[in-house]
């Protein structure tokens, strides 16, 4: 099946369901808080419950691959089911695996997540451009061919990211600005929204970079890391309509009640809507 471009599908999802991505991060502490074991059965119940609660109503679900991989191949099998079920229920899935490598290895990573028929096929993948933006070309090509998207790490939500991302490159611009410029080039002419997004933390004091990339801006850091919806206009300025705020723990802590998970997500959707519609 040929998918419409990811940017088009994401714009529609954000306009109809609201600008929110909920992360599926099965921390050991959350499994325990939900009364589950920190084991494979707990992982399966946790991820199934989140998908049941939210996949038919939030725009995007973002499984954090690391929390599944810690259980080895059987954890990855849970991730496969979770991804397929979330997509079947209507959510877009952004796989948070932060892949980045060179040449044929990058191509293999891209095939793992962005080739139709792959067990982990996702609507978009987070990628690291810090082996050089050009090293992501196999993923850019496959994403474009298959109606998928990428989110490249530009200005991450953690303070440690600054030493690399704010460093000045040979062209006198910050390294992050260079990543944003390359994303803008990939999105040139795309309507209503390009498919090649940036990760820009909602925790930043200010962006300090031009975020007008004609693509989505995935904004982790809302909730447990301290940012709120009220911070979004300050960080994202005129690009706030293209922001996809991402919350994991601050929604997930309301489980295992399906109703409570839904209420928590809905509160974030409404908070975000208040600031993006100004």
Ligand X SMILES: O=c1ccn([C@@H]2O[C@H](COP(=O)(O)O)[C@@H](O)[C@H]2O)c(=O)[nH]1
Q: Is 96 in the site for ligand X (CB under 6 A)?
A: yes
Which residues 169-198 are close enough to bind ligand X by CB under 6 A? Answer: none
Q: Which residues contact 79 (CB under 8 A, 6 or more apart)?
A: 47, 63, 65, 68, 69, 120
Q: Which of 165, 214, 246, 276 binds ligand X (CB under 6 A)?
A: 246
Span of 53-61, 204-212, 219-227, 267-275 interacting with ligand X by CB under 6 A? 219-227
Minimum distance, C-beta of residue 141 to ligand X, in the bound complex (Å): 24
Which residues 142-161 are close enough to bind ligand X by CB under 6 A? Answer: 156-158
Tell me whether residue 190 or residue 260 sits nearer to ligand X (CB atom): 260
In SS3 terms, 121-163 reads as CCCEEEECCCCCHHHHHHHHHHHHHHCCEEEEEEECCCHHHHH
- CA-to-CA dists, residue 276 to 27, 193, 218, 229, 245, angstroms: 30, 16, 14, 9, 11
What pairs with residue 64 in β-bridges? 96
Q: Is 23 in the site for ligand X (CB under 6 A)?
A: yes
Tell me whether residue 146 or residue 156 sits nearer to ligand X (CB atom): 156
- Mark 30-69 with x for binding to ligand X (rule: CB under 6 A) and - for no binding: ----------------------------------x-----
What pairs with residue 217 in β-bridges? 198, 243
Tell me whether residue 12 or residue 249 sits nearer to ligand X (CB atom): 249
Q: Which of 51, 244, 247, 265 binds ligand X (CB under 6 A)?
A: 247
Tell me whether residue 138 or residue 221 sits nearer to ligand X (CB atom): 221
Minimum distance, C-beta of residue 247 to ligand X, in the bound complex (Å): 5
> Three-class SS of residue 218?
strand
Q: Which two tokens stand for residue 175?
A: 């390294």
Decide if 98 is catalytic.
Answer: yes
Centre a 10 Å sphere on the Cβ of residue 74 and count the other Cβ atoms it contains.
12
What is the rounded CA–CA span in Å between residue 241 and residue 55?
A: 22
Q: Is 220 in the site for ligand X (CB under 6 A)?
A: yes
Q: Is 63 in contact with 24 (CB distance < 8 Å)? A: yes
- CA-to-CA dists, residue 183 to 15, 129, 193, angstroms: 22, 11, 12
The active-site residue out of 62, 98, 253, 277 is: 98
Q: Which of 77, 112, 190, 224 binds ligand X (CB under 6 A)?
A: 224
Site size toward ligand X, by CB under 6 A: 18
Residues identified as active-site: 98
Which residues of this protein are in contact with ligand X, per CB under 6 A? 23, 25, 64, 96, 156-158, 199, 201, 220-221, 223-225, 246-249
């Amino acid at each position: 099946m040929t998918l419409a471009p990811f940017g088009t599908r994401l714009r529609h999802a954000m306009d109809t369901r609201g600008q929110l991505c909920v992360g599926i991060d099965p921390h050991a502490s959350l499994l325990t808080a939900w009364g589950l074991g920190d084991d494979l059965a707990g992982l399966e119940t946790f991820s199934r419950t989140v998908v049941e609660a939210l996949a038919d109503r939030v725009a995007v679900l973002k499984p954090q691959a690391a929390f599944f991989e810690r259980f080895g191949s059987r954890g990855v099998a849970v991730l496969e089911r979770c991804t397929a079920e979330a997509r079947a229920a209507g959510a877009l899935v952004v796989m948070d695996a932060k892949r980045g490598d060179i040449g044929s290895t990058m191509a293999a990573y891209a095939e793992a997540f962005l080739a139709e028929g792959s067990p982990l096929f996702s609507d978009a993948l987070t990628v690291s451009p810090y082996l050089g933006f050009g090293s992501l070309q196999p993923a850019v090509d496959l994403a474009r061919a298959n109606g998928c998207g990428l989110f490249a790490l530009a200005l991450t939500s953690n303070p440690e990211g600054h030493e690399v991302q704010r460093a000045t490159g040979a062209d006198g611009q910050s390294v992050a600005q260079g990543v944003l410029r390359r994303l803008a080039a990939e999105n040139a002419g795309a309507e209503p929204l390009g498919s090649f997004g940036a990760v820009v933390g909602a925790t930043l004091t200010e962006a300090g970079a031009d975020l007008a990339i004609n693509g989505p801006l995935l904004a982790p850091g809302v909730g447990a890391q301290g940012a709120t919806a009220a911070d979004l206009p300050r960080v994202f300025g005129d690009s706030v309509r293209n922001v996809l705020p991402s919350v994991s723990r601050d929604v997930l802590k309301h489980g295992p009640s399906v109703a409570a998970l839904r209420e928590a997500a809905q509160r974030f959707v409404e908070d975000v809507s208040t600031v993006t519609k100004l």
